Structure 1
Amino acid sequence: MNSNRVAAGTGIYGSTSNQLSGPLGIFVDANLDLYVADCFNDRVQLFQSGESNGITVAGSESLHQTIELKYPTGIILDAEKYLFIVDLGTNRIVGSSMNGFRCLVGCYGRGSQSNQLDNPSGLSFDRSGNIFVTDQGNSRIQNFLLMKDSFEKEKDLLNYLLQLKSIIIFKNILFSSKMAMNKQEKILINLAGDVMIGRLIDQLLPTSVHNPEEAALVHQFRLSRSLHCPYLQKGKYNYETIWGNTLPLWKEGNFNIINLETSVTTHDKLWPEKVFNYRTHPDNIACLTTANIHHVSLANNHTLDFGIKGLEETCDSLEKSGISYVGASKTRQHALGPVYLDIPTTIEKLKPVPISSTTPRSSTSIRIGLLSASDHPSDWSSVPSFHLITYDLPQLYTQLAPLIATARLNCDFVIFSIHWGPNYQWIPDRKIQELGRWMINEGVDLIHGHSSHHIQGVEIVKRQNQTYGLIIFGCGDFLDDYAIDKQYRNDLSALFRLNLSISSSNLDNKKSIHLHSLSIFPVRCSNFQVNRLEKEDTDWIWIQQKLLQLSKIDNKTWTIGEDNNIVLDINS
């Protein structure tokens, strides 16, 4: 061989159609078309024979909606032109069919079970179409068996499935719409406390509001910290940077919720006599869409920092980005809620869909009802479209009972996000505890608490019907630019992941939802970025011990998971 040519790429990493970044797996078909797993661009590129410009056939920026990828490393094309991809970042194998892409193996997260993978890197087929996967993190090669093309009866199909521990579907099998085969057994709900992307974080992002004083502070931070934190260099801090290594966790969630602790506005008129006022440029809502944030609570003490006009622009920005919200709004009815979203339960994660209470139920989704309120600041009682509560409990119960009842009647699972209690207090006030237990017994399934600036305990509440509700009293500050309190460690918090078990009736589409477990992923916010902690880190241990100390979980037990997480089994 005495000549060669570049088959794809320019020799310089990039993301244009003729460039690649970290290519790993390739496949050449009978037509000499080249398929490339363009790892760091999170896509698969097709370079047709003789062409230097690629076509994105899967992943980011594809012409047609396909599937989201994270560090694809291996690809194979079968004789029917269906594509199979090793997606390292999500620890799964995905494949295409006449109905589009779907997850085939590793659909329930990273792990060591027979249907899970840990850092897969390559795949291959045998003559029968069975698939072999290099499962690096588990030090093994996984063999997934071919499912037969068809079965005469649904009973035969179910019997076949029961006999296999790991199954992958390579052909187009027609499932009855009433079969449970196309549904997840669990839904993952990710929650975090306060996310404040205003002030100095706003000034670091590509687009920021006009504030010379904050811009000058950011300049000083860049001079003093860029050597230690290269991402703080000008032009490098972006919408992904803020999430650090927590981003894959958000991508795994079926439904992601935060408390948005800032106005999203260019309006510059401050709420009178308020000490701290936070805002971020409307373009920076991309921080939320980058992490697949689906819903935010706006009932907190910074939503109206820039007045009603600032709130209205915040609502407009969220609506344009397809992010649901409740707790504060342009109308009182929307602020009080409930608002509803249908969360798809199909194998491939699809975006939650905002709907009304009268929208017909679907057999392939669960319906979540969302409410939100705040107990401060009292000055905002003059704004009807801000849901403010006080602790005259009999009156408060009268106020909240119809909202909870309406949500309970029209959905499968109710979440109440609430900004309550003073800053820096380990144990919530007695009235807060009483309110939380009352809400659970009224029909709320999960209370998403925040405001204290640090983590507080969780409590499992067993209702009279023997089902469980969960109170997270304080999720802590997830992302911000705040000074650190050395006693309360407001720089330490967690991503809280609720695992829901679902069973449904094929006759009326009604769902039975159970709180299966709570997974807690400890994090630390430092230098305008949040990152997960390893369990050997002293801060990880500090968070674990605080949760043990502060929580009321009856006879339930904490365990350490396989992914540096803390697991609370609720109802297995």
Structure 2
Amino acid sequence: MNHEAFVRVMLAGDVMTGRGIDQVLPYAGDPKIYESYIRSADGYVALAEARSGDIPAPVAFDYIWGDALAAMAARQPDCRLINLETAVTRSDEAWPYKGINYRMHPGNIPVLTAARVDICSLANNHVLDWGYAGLAETISSLQRAGMQTVGAGENRCAAEQPAIMSFGRNRLRVFACGHPGSGVPDEWAATENKAGVNFIGDLSEATAVNLSRQWSDDRQPGDLVIISIHWGGNWGYRIDRQKREFAHRLIDSGADLVFGHSSHHPIGIEVYRERAILYGCGDLINDYEGIGGHEEYRSDLRLLYCVDLARENGALRRFELIPYEMRRFRLQDASTVDREWLWACLNRECRSLSAALQLSADGGTYLLGW
């Protein structure tokens, strides 16, 4: 495929490979958790099996990606970027009183390399679930496996540093930050002398200016900038005015793509000044199968996002959404009925943002129009 005119980025929202997912992988860690209603991560495996059937544990490392692996390979992305919403650690120091603590055993890192992940955004509300030792091990484990990390580090300077990939005369620079609206505790903010996440306390104009300095101070000709933001609640389609204004300010300040996540289901997409704003990508991988509640949002339906950015100026050139269903902890191609339901739902939300989704010629994916 000729990528001379654009850089192709494959995006995934929240990827949570801990807890129940970790338990079906070859190197399952200690299943003990501290939730009020389930005390073992094995309970989440049981819920999924009760709903969809037996999971053949231990599964191969590529199992959970299912049909998505072929779709990613066929599109030949230049970069694969995910929000990794779990610690990768053996630490037993659960963050006190948090309630939900995600972790994956470092031996299961090949579950991420099986999908050829390039960059893991870590500025979210679970990266410190197992303390500062857990954060340090998460970063070192991912980096040893050849993945870049962004949005968290040993101090504020490290947390603010971008992940960088080079493509000829272009650099793709990815920055990441976390907002308390998604559950990121303010005490997790990295400081000059303390590890943590690249934390933004509000969505004010001043915060947008300060955040944009992270990419504007060292910007070079040919740089493309993605800002990954963990923000907002888990359920609902409403996008408030403050969030839209904040995203617009980031683009006005030079960002080429706003990659937002935290919602458990996909929400509307906007195109502003030829730049895409994903307000909430929805989850791609998790162990929520079998958990009741919020069925109207169909959180079992998942999306991969394939985005082409013009090399010359970062403008959006093509935007494809690829739908899946999660069953037995494995992504499988969504049925015709489910694809059409998700298309109608997302098209409604995109239209409220002056965009629209079209079904592809074969009806298997969606294309964003603006």
- Normalising to structure 1: TM-score of the pair? 0.58
Deviation at 1:285, TM superposition (A): 1.6
Deviation at 1:273, TM superposition (A): 0.8
Identify which of 183, 187, 194 aligns with 2:14: 194
Letter in 2 for 1:478: L
Counterparts of 1:49-448 in structure 2, within 5 Å, are 107=1, 184-211=4-31, 214=40, 216-217=42-43, 220=46, 228-229=53-54, 232-235=55-58, 237-251=59-73, 252-343=76-167, 362-363=168-169, 366-376=170-180, 377-381=184-188, 383-384=190-191, 385-391=196-202, 393-406=204-217, 408-409=219-220, 411-448=222-259
**CA 1:401 to 1:471, structure 2 compared with 1: closer, same or farther past 3 Å?**
same
SS of residue matched to 2:202: coil
Given that 1:460 and 1:553 are in contact with CA atoms closer than 8 Å, whether structure 2 keeps it comes out as: no
**Separation in structure 1 between the aligned mates of residue 276 and residue 258 of structure 2, nearest angstrom:** 6
Given that 1:195 and 1:258 are in contact with CA atoms closer than 8 Å, whether structure 2 keeps it comes out as: yes
**CA 1:220 to 1:492, structure 2 compared with 1: closer, same or farther past 3 Å?**
closer
**CA 1:400 to 1:222, structure 2 compared with 1: closer, same or farther past 3 Å?**
closer
- Greater alpha carbon shift after TM alignment, 212-221 vs 274-283: 212-221
Deviations 1:386-428 (A, max 9, x none): 1111225133134213113136446521100000112212112
For structure 1, list consecutive stretches of 5 or more residues without a partner in the other structure: 1-106, 109-182, 344-361, 463-467, 503-510
Given that 1:500 and 1:516 are in contact with CA atoms closer than 8 Å, whether structure 2 keeps it comes out as: yes
2:332 corresponds to 1:523:
no
Given that 1:422 and 1:451 are in contact with CA atoms closer than 8 Å, whether structure 2 keeps it comes out as: yes
2:341 corresponds to 1:542:
yes
**Separation in structure 2 between the aligned mates of residue 379 and residue 554 of structure 1, nearest angstrom:** 31
2:267 corresponds to 1:456:
yes
Letter in 1 for 2:161: G
SS of residue matched to 2:98: coil
Deviations 1:89-112 (A, max 9, x none): xxxxxxxxxxxxxxxxxx36xxxx
**Separation in structure 1 between the aligned mates of residue 271 and residue 284 of structure 2, nearest angstrom:** 23
Deviation at 1:280, TM superposition (A): 0.2
Given that 2:301 and 2:334 are in contact with CA atoms closer than 8 Å, whether structure 1 keeps it comes out as: no
Deviations 1:114-161 (A, max 9, x none): xxxxxxxxxxxxxxxxxxxxxxxxxxxxxxxxxxxxxxxxxxxxxxxx
Letter in 2 for 1:550: E
For structure 2, list consecutive stretches of 5 or more residues without a partner in the other structure: 33-38
Deviation at 1:225, TM superposition (A): 7.2
Other-structure match for 1:487: 296
**Separation in structure 1 between the aligned mates of residue 230 and residue 45 of structure 2, nearest angstrom:** 33
**CA 1:554 to 1:452, structure 2 compared with 1: closer, same or farther past 3 Å?**
closer
Deviations 1:6-25 (A, max 9, x none): xxxxxxxxxxxxxxxxxxxx
Given that 1:315 and 1:330 are in contact with CA atoms closer than 8 Å, whether structure 2 keeps it comes out as: no
Letter in 1 for 2:275: G
**Separation in structure 2 between the aligned mates of residue 555 and residue 427 of structure 1, nearest angstrom:** 15
Letter in 1 for 2:10: N
Which protein has the bigger helix share? 2
* CA RMSD after TM alignment: 2.4
SS of residue matched to 1:475: coil
**Separation in structure 2 between the aligned mates of residue 304 and residue 456 of structure 1, nearest angstrom:** 26
**CA 1:398 to 1:443, structure 2 compared with 1: closer, same or farther past 3 Å?**
closer
Given that 2:165 and 2:172 are in contact with CA atoms closer than 8 Å, whether structure 1 keeps it comes out as: yes
Deviation at 1:433, TM superposition (A): 1.2
Given that 2:128 and 2:188 are in contact with CA atoms closer than 8 Å, whether structure 1 keeps it comes out as: no
**CA 1:556 to 1:451, structure 2 compared with 1: closer, same or farther past 3 Å?**
closer
**CA 1:549 to 1:557, structure 2 compared with 1: closer, same or farther past 3 Å?**
closer
SS of residue matched to 2:66: helix
Letter in 2 for 1:559: Q
Q: Which protein has the larger Cα radius of gyration, Structure 1 or Structure 2?
A: 1
Size of the aligned set, in residue pairs, is 351
**Separation in structure 2 between the aligned mates of residue 186 and residue 206 of structure 1, nearest angstrom:** 38
**Separation in structure 1 between the aligned mates of residue 163 and residue 83 of structure 2, nearest angstrom:** 16
**CA 1:555 to 1:224, structure 2 compared with 1: closer, same or farther past 3 Å?**
closer
Deviation at 1:450, TM superposition (A): 0.4
- Normalising to structure 2: TM-score of the pair? 0.87
**CA 1:409 to 1:276, structure 2 compared with 1: closer, same or farther past 3 Å?**
same
Deviation at 1:372, TM superposition (A): 0.6
Deviation at 1:531, TM superposition (A): 2.0
Letter in 2 for 1:208: A
2:277 corresponds to 1:476:
no
Deviations 1:340-391 (A, max 9, x none): 2113xxxxxxxxxxxxxxxxxx44xx21111111112234345423111122
SS of residue matched to 1:258: strand
**Separation in structure 2 between the aligned mates of residue 390 and residue 216 of structure 1, nearest angstrom:** 35
Other-structure match for 2:36: none
Other-structure match for 1:135: none
SS of residue matched to 2:258: strand
Given that 2:356 and 2:369 are in contact with CA atoms closer than 8 Å, whether structure 1 keeps it comes out as: yes
SS of residue matched to 1:401: helix
